Amino acid sequence: MNQVRNNRLIYGLIQRFLRSFVTCHVSRVTCHSSLVTRHSSLVTRHLSFFVLLLLLPTFLFAQLSAGPPITINPGVPVTLTAKYGEDWVATPVQLNDDDVKGPFALDPANDFDFLFYGNLYKSFSIGSNGWISFTYNPNWGGTRKAISIPSNAPNSPLNCILGPMQDYNPEAPQSPYVYYKTIGSKPSRKLVVMWCQTPITWCMNDVVTFQIVLNELDNSIESHVYSKPSCTDPTNDKATLGIQNEYGTIALSPGYNVSALPLSEQAWKYEIDPNVFSGYKVTSINFELLPITPEDKISYAWYQGSELISSEKSLIVTPDVTTTYTAWCTICNGATFSSTVTVTVVPLVPDAFTPNNDGVNDTFEILGLPPSSIADYHIEIYNRWGQQVFAETDITKPWNGKMNNGGEICPDGVYVWVIYYLKADKTKVSNKGTVTLLR
């Protein structure tokens, strides 16, 4: 337990460090140099702190990958693809207004048992109005307003975690807004259910972002509220945070039980405590959103130096010199991650080859490694009369000195090669040169 608390403290410090980094450094170009300048003493004086990061559970770190290093000859088209860590891509849930969906397994392996008010559960359901329950009852979706817990009123959700509960509209345009993910490995898994920028009914310009987290290790529950504004409409101006049992007779709230107060970057933890009537104690904890997100809620940006060159997940580049590209992604809760990839350009294209089957320099090859990063590649080779003798779109298939790599042998001489790819607007980007065939 002490190690878990230490990990949480360290991770909280990292989160604040990163938020400061993003907020204070508007320009991505000066961002890194400024960071090194301003915080070099911190790294020097607190090296042991960063060594401690190695002890953190691996699931605490989201990863954006810009791809492996790439090596090419000039003119070879390279596809760069940013990839957000698969361990963090969540399952979206399409919820209608005042809806309940489920049941969903706590873990697809179905061996994640969670203890809640003395009972073990393997599944949960999601209510569109900001709650999860270990019981599936579609009639509970009809409860729109915040309830004062404990409550066993008709249609009130029971056996539930309200995190906070209010009348939301998750079927608004750009839905789904709710999703879930089980992260980590046994026995330290976490189920994370998230409402991300979900519109509040009757106040559609106001959105909520929060997470409900179930911790397998100690059967504790966390509510992390990034933003829950007050709705100015008097019919939907209150919300409820808390938990209650399957009968609606025992409940616990951290003080927001049918409250109109706005919430921002606050978090609470419910821990089992058999010495109190509610069976749980609740404490305020450090706020931290785990970076889960559905694939369609990720926005990407690619930079070459300070220049934005694409807002897509993938793009094609054809650098003539060695160039480093930076990928950025922003997930739905506003967290931002970056990663770089260097395309090393080897300017020397082979200018001669000897296809005599001696095992040395038998083919004319264009450099492009790894091949999986080479896309839309075309090469054409012509003899001195302008006749095409070779054409290929697979960079792993070099020219062997025969007509289209068939049986007819091409004579010694100088041949012209052209590498190109067609851009979206059908313009051609190319590189060309000559190669001498010697037998």
CA–CA dist 228, 177 (Å, integer): 15
- Beta-carbon contacts of 362 under 8 Å, excluding residues fewer than 6 positions away, are 353, 354, 355, 356, 400, 401
pLDDT of residue 62: 56
User: What's the number of CA atoms in the CB half-sphere (13 Å) around residue 258?
Assistant: 10
The mean per-residue pLDDT over the stretch 350-374 comes to 95
Structure confidence at residue 93 (pLDDT): 96
Q: Cβ neighbours of residue 106 under 8 Å, at least 6 residues apart?
A: 112, 113, 114, 121, 122, 123, 124, 182, 189, 191, 214
436 pLDDT more than 70? yes
Which pLDDT score, from 0 to 100, does residue 415 have? 98
Tell me the mean pLDDT in the region 25-32.
33
Q: Residue 404 — very low, low, confident or very high, per pLDDT cuts 50/70/90?
A: very high
Average pLDDT over residues 368-393: 96
Contact 101, 93 (CB under 8 A): yes
pLDDT in tens, 36-72: 333 333 333 233 333 323 333 333 445 899 999 999 9
CA dist 177 and 166 (Å) reads 15
Residue from 266, 290, 286, 224 nearest 9 by CA: 286
3-class state of residue 190 by DSSP: strand
Q: Which helix (H) or strand (E) holds 176?
A: none
Taking the C-alpha atoms of residue 124 and residue 214, their distance in angstroms, rounded to an integer, is: 11
Could you tell me the pTM of the whole model? 0.77
**All structural domains of the chain:** 1-56 (no CATH), 64-85+295-348 (2.60.40.10), 90-285 (no CATH), 352-437 (2.60.40)
pLDDT score of 2 more than 80:
no
How much is the mean pLDDT over the chain? 86
Whole-angstrom Cα distance, residue 337 to residue 142?
Answer: 39
Do 316 and 376 contact (CB within 8 A), yes or no? yes
Q: Is the pLDDT of residue 120 over 90?
A: yes
d(CA 135, CA 275): 26
Scanning the structure block, which residue is given the tokens 């004086």? Answer: 45
Q: Which of 1-15, 179-193, 297-311 has the lowest mean pLDDT?
A: 1-15
Residue 262, pLDDT > 70, answer yes
Whether pLDDT at 241 is above 90: yes
Per-residue pLDDT at 332 exceeds 70: yes
Long-range residue pairs from 270-279, CB within 8 A, at least 24 positions apart, any chain: 270/220, 270/221, 270/222, 270/243, 271/218, 271/220, 272/115, 272/218, 272/219, 272/220, 277/250, 278/250, 278/251, 278/252, 279/117, 279/118, 279/245, 279/250
Q: What is the 3-state secondary structure (H, E, C) of 278-341?
A: CCEEEEEECCCCCCCECHHHCEEEEEECCEEEECCCEEEECCCCCEEEEEEEECCCCCEEEEEE
Q: Is the peptide bond before 176 cis (omega within 30 degrees of 0)?
A: yes
